[in-house]
Structure 1
Amino acid sequence: MNKIYKIAAVCSLMYLYSCGTYFNQPFSASQSRTGEFTKSTRGLLDLPPATEPVEVAVYNFSDQTGQYKAVENGSTFSTAVTQGGTTMLIKALEDSGWFIPIERENLSNLSTERNIIRNTKQEYIKNLNPNEPPLPPLLYAGLIIEGGIISYDTNIVTGGIGARYFGLGGSAKYRQDRITVYLRAVSTSNGEILKTVYVSKTILSQALDGSFFRFVKFQRLLEAETGITQNEPVQLAVKDAIEKAVRDLILEGVKDRYWSAQGGIEVNQKLVDSYDEEKRIDENTGLYERLFVERPYKESFSFSGGLALIDGDYEINRPSYLGRIGYQRKLTSHLNWGGALSLFKLDNGEAFTSNFATLDLNAQIDLLPNDNFGPYIFAGPGVGLELGNPKLSNDMENLSTNFLKIQYGGGLNYFISEKLGLKVFAEHNILFNDKLDNLVNGKRDDYYFNFGIGLNYFFGTTGNNNSQTQSK
């Protein structure tokens, strides 16, 4: 029983240690504080100053989704996203230092107040001071910033994991939502839409829980549970997306020379180069944060090493060495073909040991061809040759020195760069006879396994990447 208590205590400590939020539970009211920065806030504030800030007007930046907050039971009239998008956008424009926001959302209130001031001066102040200057004119904007929150998608990814053993268990669940905003700059001189940017942001919700349920004595039940749930605030997600959109709009304008940073061409070029690289990565990243990369090279050499393990008619099966070199050529974005030359040793201990060479032809299917990390499967025919004299027991003779086979398997590819990649693989080799280990016994033919890790080197002419682009 003490052992169970120790296991429960250790698991509980590990669980609590992994959850920093657990030690910051809000047991008391907190005072007001300055609003949090998002991941995009610092990128917006770190922009170099503009040569000359531009006056901009924002009339409305609203929720265009029309969605209401989802609830499990009943109905609600609360909106799914904040209705204060205009205020957030004005704040982001102001923080950037590249724009001078002008009040337009509540223009009627501003006009009313100016009329009150004007009438008051005419009726009272002017009689006392005839030289009182008139009310200065309103600023007018060179640009109008338009757009809105155009989508809020819930549960685009959900999942979890859990386990329970003898009343001790825990689970983890997660959910991901997604919000999308569009932002455009419109010239007030001719109505031309100068630039449009599109930004999306995922919203993560996580839940962790653990429980312990156990009878410690007769009619004595011990039960304990704990849990944590973290929901990323939708308001901060909207703020993050808007700030990223404003930053992208600024850099798009620098790129097309609508405005400029202080420091001239050199500073502008650094901003544009950094932005282009960031944009390239973003555009090659799929919906579920998968990075898609176009593969420009059609051919590759591979060098691999690992273990070979026979499964024949003897009880003793010892793993031994495997060496392999291979060549591969891309036919389509998913399909490759190639060959491999392998040297390996099969070891049944004192009964049988021998070295072999095989030549394999394979068709390979890359399941995720545009990912940096992805699985693949392969299959094909092969031919094998026994090298030298095998080590046999005294009452045996050599039955076969060559054989035909088929092989199939799978593995994982990881691309270090455009020209270099790592791979791991497992392979099952099936023979058409029972003579591989020089013992014919039973109805089943001999076979063996190969397990390895290798390095791919890519080369060759640049291929057509249209099919890869479409797969995104």
Structure 2
Amino acid sequence: MYYKVYKAITIILCVFLLSSCGTYFNQPIVKEDARIGEDTKITPALRNLPSPVEPVVVGVYKFRDQTGQYKPTESGNTFSTAVTQGATTILIKALEDSKWFVPIERENLSNLLNERNIIRSTRKEYRKTTNPNEPQLPPLLYAGVILEGGIVSYDSNIITGGLGARYFGIGASTQYRQDRITIYLRAVSTSSGKILKTVYVSKTILSQALDANFFRYVRFRRLLEAETGFTKNEPAQMAVSEAIEKAVESLVIEGIEDKLWAAKADTNVINTLLKTYNDEKNEAQSTKLYDRYFKERRSKVSAFVKGGTALISGDFNNPEFTYAAQIGGRWYFNPYINVNASLHKFELTNEISFSQGFNAFDLNAELNFLPFEKLSPFLYGGAGVVNDDDFDNSLFKFQYGGGIEYLVSDKIGLSLNATHNLVLSDKLDTVEQGKRDDQYFNFSLGINWYFGNPIKKKKK
């Protein structure tokens, strides 16, 4: 018995460790040399944008943390800021990588102007003894567009949780925390002051911790204790870089779409780029907080087939689970409410006391709680009629139940549900006894087919 328990717990610990073996087996045990900074997931897409007809000269005066958020700790906050204060530099690097913009120095403009004044005064001092016709210092580039904005939000612990188990001195646990940063980037015309385009990007920051331990007396006065684990935190600077690069990519593509600037590429390439971006944008606009993706999914008409089991609750003892099958259809009035009708074939049995096949017809009203998500619970209730296979005994009934449906595609869904059937008679099992009418239950797994276009969401 103990061997089986230890074996099961060992397997659980191995699963915990192997699920993050990339971190566990790359422990920092030696000093590492300096290396070039990592690219984010967005960097390749930013570099592979089609070339511009003419790069846009832009000035970035300030793109910094506007949240005032300090880094959270277990004992409170510290004086260390939660996000980097060098977002302006990150933005300029992203602008260079895109090759769509020519960024000019504006963050430390006073240093640049001071240095130019030094050059002028030095040239003036030596001009009398050297070349009197030496050309003047060339003028500074001016920006046709100014990029403004910043990191406007840092939300800590928007999701926290964990999982753990301990048995007989052996245990393991995992914890996670998710933060979120939000940035805005806008392009402003220097000739008119008009805001040409504004984009908004958010990025989550994930922190994970995993530990496993063993604490047990293996012999008298012999205690064995072992512990291992690790914590993995997504770098906030990488999250800021990824968000800024995504904002620059969005600014370029939306500028192409609005004809603020032009790309030097084939029309088909540009159309493909715009379509891919708009599909991503539509999906993002339908995704709510905590990655809940809202989409028009279920159509007005669907058909379903279900198979499962039936269980009687009547006047005989020892009921048994038997087969049950169902076929029917749904008609949706709106994404939340539908009416469904179905035919049933099932058997009810009480060991050797009673066994009879039945047919039933159900008419239900159903409420779907999350119609725009893949996974949705539902409740239903209605009335129907049930009769035996010989149609000698027809009885009215009410039924109610609930379940959950998961859409594996836009046209096919899998459902799991349970139904309680209240027969308005005590003659279902041919015996009238006691004050309570007969009842039976159905438990089934079904497949739903949806036909036609999804029902449209109402515009707010």
Please give the residue correspondences for 1:114-193 in structure 2 after superposition, counting only pairs within 5 Å.
114-124=116-126, 127-193=129-195
Counterpart in the other structure of 2:19:
18
How far does the alpha carbon of each residue in 1:93-133 deviate from its partner, in whole angstroms, 9 at most, with x for none? 11011111111000111111111112212212563223433
Tell me the distance in 2 between the aligned counterparts of 1:5 and 1:345: 44
SS of residue matched to 1:127: coil
SS of residue matched to 2:180: strand
How far does the alpha carbon of each residue in 1:53-108 deviate from its partner, in whole angstroms, 9 at most, with x for none? 11111000011111111223255211111111101111111101111111100011
With over 3 angstroms needed to count, the CA separation of the structure-2 counterparts of 1:315 and 1:463, relative to structure 1, is closer
Counterpart residue identity of residue 175, structure 1: R
Counterpart in the other structure of 1:423:
415
SS of residue matched to 1:249: helix
Contact kept, 8 Å, 2:311 with 2:319, in 1: the verdict is no
With over 3 angstroms needed to count, the CA separation of the structure-2 counterparts of 1:267 and 1:5, relative to structure 1, is closer
How far does the alpha carbon of each residue in 1:321-368 deviate from its partner, in whole angstroms, 9 at most, with x for none? 31221223234x433333222222234454333222212222222221
Tell me the distance in 2 between the aligned counterparts of 1:227 and 1:187: 53
Name the count of aligned residue pairs: 457
Shift of 1:183: 0.5
Counterpart in the other structure of 2:444:
452
How far does the alpha carbon of each residue in 1:392-447 deviate from its partner, in whole angstroms, 9 at most, with x for none? xxxxxxxx722232222222222344444332322222334443233445665433
Contact kept, 8 Å, 1:50 with 1:262, in 2: the verdict is yes
Counterpart in the other structure of 2:52:
50
Tell me the distance in 1 between the aligned counterparts of 2:42 and 2:453: 40
With over 3 angstroms needed to count, the CA separation of the structure-2 counterparts of 1:225 and 1:428, relative to structure 1, is farther
What is the RMSD computed on CA atoms of the aligned residues? 2.4
Contact kept, 8 Å, 1:308 with 1:322, in 2: the verdict is no
SS of residue matched to 1:140: coil
Tell me the distance in 2 between the aligned counterparts of 1:13 and 1:173: 17
With over 3 angstroms needed to count, the CA separation of the structure-2 counterparts of 1:173 and 1:265, relative to structure 1, is same
Contact kept, 8 Å, 2:177 with 2:208, in 1: the verdict is yes
Tell me the distance in 1 between the aligned counterparts of 2:313 and 2:47: 64
Contact kept, 8 Å, 2:59 with 2:143, in 1: the verdict is yes
Tell me the distance in 1 between the aligned counterparts of 2:292 and 2:454: 23
Tell me the distance in 1 between the aligned counterparts of 2:128 and 2:447: 87
Shift of 1:181: 0.3
Residue 327, structure 1, aligned to residue 319, structure 2: no
Query: Unaligned stretches of 5+ in structure 1?
Result: 390-399
Tell me the distance in 1 between the aligned counterparts of 2:305 and 2:50: 48
Tell me the distance in 1 between the aligned counterparts of 2:457 and 2:270: 31
Shift of 1:13: 3.4
Identity of aligned residues (%): 54
Tell me the distance in 2 between the aligned counterparts of 1:215 and 1:454: 51
With over 3 angstroms needed to count, the CA separation of the structure-2 counterparts of 1:11 and 1:270, relative to structure 1, is closer
Counterpart residue identity of residue 175, structure 2: K
Tell me the distance in 1 between the aligned counterparts of 2:14 and 2:340: 52
Tell me the distance in 2 between the aligned counterparts of 1:282 and 1:202: 14
With over 3 angstroms needed to count, the CA separation of the structure-2 counterparts of 1:339 and 1:2, relative to structure 1, is closer
How far does the alpha carbon of each residue in 1:189-221 deviate from its partner, in whole angstroms, 9 at most, with x for none? 111111000111111111112222222222322
Tell me the distance in 2 between the aligned counterparts of 1:14 and 1:37: 30
With over 3 angstroms needed to count, the CA separation of the structure-2 counterparts of 1:172 and 1:377, relative to structure 1, is farther
Shift of 1:188: 1.1
SS of residue matched to 1:163: strand
Counterpart residue identity of residue 284, structure 2: D
Counterpart residue identity of residue 293, structure 2: L
How far does the alpha carbon of each residue in 1:217-248 deviate from its partner, in whole angstroms, 9 at most, with x for none? 22322222222211111111111111111100
Shift of 1:6: 5.1
Query: Unaligned stretches of 5+ in structure 2?
Result: none
Counterpart residue identity of residue 31, structure 1: D
With over 3 angstroms needed to count, the CA separation of the structure-2 counterparts of 1:259 and 1:75, relative to structure 1, is closer
